[in-house]
Amino acid sequence: MYKKDLDLERSWQSLLNKLEESVGKKPADLNSVLFLIGVQELGYGPKRYSKEQKQDLMHIAICKVLSLSGYYELEGIDEDGWPHWKPIKKLPHFDLLDQEKLLKLNIIDYFNTEMNFNIK
C-alpha cells in the first residue's frame, strides 16, 4: 500500500470516528456517509426516505462533493426543494478503487470546508 493510500485511509477512519461522535453511530461504509451528506444538503433533516429517495440523496451527495473539484455545478432547486446538478467537467475514467479514492478525498474536503471538521 502506498503512503498516500495509507494517509487517505487514516483520514477516512478519522472522519468516520468524528461522524460517530456527531451522529451517535459510526457510518458503516462510503454509501452511509454519502447518505448523511445528502440528508444534510437537502436540509429536511432525519426522516424516513423511500429507497428511491435514498438513491437520490446519495446522488446529491456525490454531485456536491465532486463540485468541490469542479466536476458539477448546482443548476437549481426544484419546487420540492431538491437540488439539481449539472456536470461541467468530464470525470476521469477510473476503476472502482480509484473512483472510491476520489470520492473519499472529496468527502473529507467537504467535511473540512462545509462542516468545519479538522480531518487531516
What's the half-sphere exposure (Cβ side, CA atoms, 13 Å) at 116?
Answer: 0
Report the mean per-residue pLDDT for the chain: 94
- Per-residue CA distances from 31 to 57, 90, 116 (Å): 10, 22, 21
CA-to-CA distance for 90 and 48, rounded, in angstroms?
Answer: 34
Task: Report pTM.
Answer: 0.92
pLDDT (tens digit per residue) in 64-90: 999 999 999 999 999 999 999 999 999
- CB 60 within 8 Å of CB 82: yes
